[in-house]
Structure 1
């Protein structure tokens, strides 16, 4: 029986990824161990894992994660207050498929889309 999913995304620089997810998105490092070339971040009920890929070309990265939330307006406004860049084509809006969504790109161009059922 399936119980959880923890997506793994590429990162070029562990310290840059950790700083972005911590300060911009409010995630915390998960666990006590500091693994070489691997990072686990957690916020509320989700985890995202990252593996080191130093040769990653951000313009060629197609890593994507869809994250559901139950208070998208509050989360979106908290990101704006921190001056977190929102994807130019991903501003907060209601989609025809009944989701309110927005998107952003992390420092390695992984696309994070946040959505709430309306």
Structure 2
């Protein structure tokens, strides 16, 4: 019966979060209402929601989302080509659990891990 999941991550500033996801990661803002303290973005079939948390300390944020892709190499190259910052410990690599992954942090230190199964 379950059909999808849309993670909700904290954000301190909606304009900064919107800029990062829309202008840097190529997501599109979605939704029919512009709520001051809520943001929804989508790229392909992936939707992420954000709620305002002005007091968030990025050093203490453990927000994480794992995003699957069917072309990890092209996605990674596009991030590098557009000068996106890859996490220092998150360069593209094959993990022992059979996934090829890379990671980055958004402006609020939410960890975005992109992965694809290794065949």
TM-score above 0.5: yes
Gaps of 5+ in 1: none
The equivalences for 1:47-66 within 5 A come to: 47-66=47-66
Runs of 4+ deviating beyond 2 Å? none
- Across the two proteins, how many residue pairs are aligned to each other? 118
- How far apart in 1 are the matches of 2:70 and 2:31? 25
RMSD: 0.6
Q: Deviations over 1:59-94 (max 9, x none)?
A: 000000001000011011111111100000000001
The 5 A counterparts of 1:1-118 are 1-118=1-118
TM-score of the pair, normalised by structure 1 = 0.98
Deviation at 1:43, TM superposition (A): 0.3
Q: Is the 8 A contact 2:9 2:50 kept in 1?
A: yes
Describe the SS at the equivalent of 1:59.
Answer: helix
